[in-house]
Amino acid sequence: MRRAGPWVWLLVFLGVLSGFGAQASHAQKRRRVQLAQPPPPPPPTPEELAAQCLGQGVHVLRDGGLPEPSRCHDAGQAFEAIGNDERAAQLYREGCRRGDPPSCRALGVMRLSGRGGLPRSLPEALSSFRAACDAGFGRACFDAGRMFESGLGTAENPSQAQALFERACELGWLEACEHLGSQLAMSESRPDLERAVSLFTRACRGNRASSCRYLAELFAGGRGTEKDAKQAQRLYEMACEQEDLPSCERLGAMLRQGSLEERERGVAFFERACARGRASACNDLGLLREQLGQKRQAAELFQQACAGGVPAGCTNLGRLFERGDGIPRSLDGALRLYRKACDEEETSACVALGILHEEGRGTPRDEREARRLFEFSCDRSDLIGCVHLGLLMQDGRGGSRDPERALRLFRRACEGGELWGCVVLGQALEEGRGGIPDLAQARLLYERACQGGEMLGCTNLGVLHEEGKGVAQDLLRAVELYQKACEQNEAYGCTRLGLLHRNGKGLPRDAQKAFAFFLKACDGGDLRGCNALGHAFEQGLGTTPNLVRAAELYRRACDGGLLSGCTNLGTLQVRGAGVRRNPAEAARLFGLACEGGHWLACSNLGSLHETGNGVRRDLRRAIDLYDRACSQGEARGCFNLARLFERGQVGGTASPGLAAEYYRRACTMNYAPACEAQERLARENATFSHSE
C-alpha cells in the first residue's frame, strides 16, 4: 500500500478547518437569529380582552384563536381590577348569555352586592349561581348552596343546600367538601364523623390547608378515626407549610406538651405564625418561652399579642407584672392590663382583677367589687371564678352570707372538671360548712383531685392521714402525699413537710430541712410557709436568728390575709424585736386577727388590756377576751383566766377552785405552764390529817 503524499495531508487539514469554520458560522447565525427575535407581546389590555369577548377586531387575537365566551370573564376581571365595575358587569352578562359558567357566577356575585350598576337582587343572584352550577361550575353550586342554607334570597332549605354542596364537591370544588365535612362533624342530631374524615381527606389531598387542619383535629381527638397524635402533627405541619397559620399555632401547642426537645421544636412553628401577624400565636409562643424560663422574651411576646387584640396576651403580661417575673414588678401595670382584658370579657383577667380587689393589692381592698367580678366570670362559665365567688359567699364577704349557694358553686366547678373546686368543696365538707362535717366525702374529693393532678388535693389528703381525720392515722402515707405535692411545687405540701421535720413527727427532727421546706413554700406563695419561715428566723431554727427578717415575713403573711402572721407580727411589736416597739399597732393587729378567728390574738389583746399597754387598761375587757379565747380552745386564754381567778381579780375574791379548773383545761391542751400551775395549786391547797 502506497503512503499518502504530503500534499494529500495538506488538503485534509484544510478541509477540517473549513468544517470547523462552517460549524462556527452556523452557530453565529443561530445566535443572530435568536437575538433578532422580537420580545414577547405585552398582555392584552382590558379593551383588547373586551374586543375578543365581543368578537370585534378578530385580527387582534394574538394566539390565533377565535373569540370565546371565556374571554368575557377574563375581560370582566380585568375591568374589575381597575375599578370599572359597570364595564365588568356588561362583560359578565355577555359571557353568561353565551354560556360561560364563570361569567354567570361573577354576574351573580355582582347582583348579590348590587355592584356594577346592577340593582341588588338576591333572587337574580341565585338564578345566576344556579345557571353556572347547572353548567358544571362547582364553585357556583357552593354559592347557591350557601344561599339555601342561610335563607338568603330564598326560603331556607337545608336539604337543597346539602344537595348543592354534594354536587359542588363532586365537581371538584374542595371548599364544598370541607363545608360538608364540617357540617357532619359538628351535627348534634346526626353526626357522621367517618364521612367527615373522608371529605376532609379528599380536600386535604387537593392541597386545601384548612381541611388538613380539620382532619388533624379529628386525629388528635380520635373522632371518626383512631386517635393518632403523630398523624395529627403531620397534618398540621403539612397545612402550616401551606401558610395555614392556625395549623402552625396548633402544632406548636401540641409540641408544647411534650419533651424539652419537642417544646424547642414547637417554638419554630409559633414563631412562624407570630412573625406573619397571628397575634394569638405570639401569646402561645410567650407561654412556651415562659415555660422554658425565658421570662423577658415571654413578656415581649405577650405585649405583642396584647397590642394585636388578644386579651389573653394582656392577661398573661399582667400576671408577669403582678409577680415581677422577668420584668419589674408593677401592680399598677397588672391592674391596667387586667382591666383592659376584662373589658373584652376575658374572664381569667376578671378573676385576677377580682383577687387584687379582694386582697387590696395595688388598689384599695374592695370585696364587693371582687364579688361582682367573680360573679361576672362565673356567669360566663369560668369555673375558677365560681370557686372564688363561693369562697366569698361562704364567709359573707362583699355581700350576704350564703353557705348553701357556696356549696353549689363548689360542686358545679368540681363536676365541670375544675379540680380546685373539688378541693374547696372537700374543705367545706371537712369543716362542716353548711351542715354536719362529712370527712368520708371530703376524703373522696381530695383523692379525686390528687389523682387528677391537683396537688393541693394530695396535701389535704395528707393532712387527714396525719391527723387521723376520717381515716386511720398514717404518718408514712401523709409524708408520701406531702412529698408528692411538694415535688410538684404545691407550696402548702412543702410547708407541711417542714412542720413534720421541725416537730420530729413522722420524720427525723431536722431544723435545717424544715427551714429549706419553709423557704420553698414561701417562695411558692404559701403564706403559712412564710409564717413558719418567720418563726424559724425568730427562734434561730435551722438558720441564724434574724428578727428583722422574721418581722418582714410575718408582715408579708399578715398583708396576705394570714391571721397568725398578724398575731406574730404584733407580738414582735409589743417587744420591739426586729421592729420599732409599737404596742398600739400590736393591739390593732391582735384585734384584726381576733375578729377573724385567731384565738391566740384574743388572748394577746386581753393581756394588753389587762396591763394598759398600748390601750386603755380595762380588766373587764381583758376577762372577756380571755374567756372568748379559752372557749374556742386556746390554752393561753384559759391560763390567763385561771391566773386572774387565783389572784382574786375576777369578782373581787380569790377563787382557787375556778383557777384550778381553768389551769386543768389549759393543761389538757398541752400548755406546760398550766400543768405546772395546776400542780402548784394542788400542793398549796393540800390538807393532811393526823392521829390525836
Please write the tens of the pLDDT for every residue from 417-434: 999 999 999 999 999 987
pLDDT, mean of residues 650-667:
88
Contact assessment for residue 465 and residue 475, using Cβ atoms and an 8 Å cutoff: yes
pLDDT of the residue at 36: 53
pTM score over 0.85: no
290 Cβ contact partners less than 8 Å away, ≥ 6 residues apart: 298, 316, 320, 326
All cell numbers assigned to 692: 390525836
For the stretch 441-500, pLDDT in tens is: 999 999 999 999 999 999 999 999 999 999 999 999 999 999 999 999 999 999 999 999
Residue showing cell 411545687: 489
- Among residues 269, 330, 270, 320, the alpha carbon closest in space to that of 296 is found at 320
Please name the residues in contact with 328: beta carbons below 8 A apart, sequence gap of 6 or more: none
Neighbours of 315 (CB within 10 A): 28
Task: State the Cα–Cα distance between residues 179 and 193, nearest whole angstrom.
Answer: 13
Judge whether residue 20 has pLDDT over 70.
no
Length of the chain: 692
CA end-to-end distance (rounded Å), the chain: 177
Q: For position 57, what pLDDT does the model report?
A: 42
CA distance 600 to 594: 7
Asked if 205 and 170 touch (Cβ cutoff 8 Å), the reply is no
Q: Provide the sign of the torsion angle of the four alpha carbons 224, 225, 226, 227, taken in this order.
A: negative
Neighbours of 167 (CB within 10 A): 20
For residue 28, the model assigns a pLDDT of 54
Span 489-508, pLDDT tens digits:
999 999 999 999 999 999 99
User: Which DSSP letter does residue 445 get?
Assistant: H
Instruction: State residue 70's pLDDT score.
Output: 81
pLDDT digits (tens, 9 = 90+) for 184-212: 998 887 889 999 999 999 999 999 999 99
pLDDT per position as a tens digit, 235-251:
999 999 999 999 998 99
pLDDT-derived band at 38, boundaries 50, 70, 90: low
Confidence bin at 180 (pLDDT 50/70/90): very high
Query: 364 φ, ψ to 5°?
Result: -60, 145
Give 208-267 pLDDT, tens digit per residue: 999 999 999 999 999 999 999 999 999 999 999 999 999 998 998 898 888 888 888 888
Whole-number pLDDT of residue 11: 35
Task: Give the span between the Cα atoms of 207 and 29, in whole angstroms.
Answer: 47
Find out whether 655 and 647 touch, Cβ atoms under 8 Å: no
Neighbours of 362 (CB within 10 A): 18
Q: Which three cell numbers stand for residue 608?
A: 394588753
Element containing residue 432 per DSSP (H, E): none
- Of these ranges, 52-61, 290-299, 310-319, the one predicted with the greatest mean pLDDT is 310-319
The segment with the largest mean pLDDT, out of 89-93, 346-350, 431-435, is 346-350
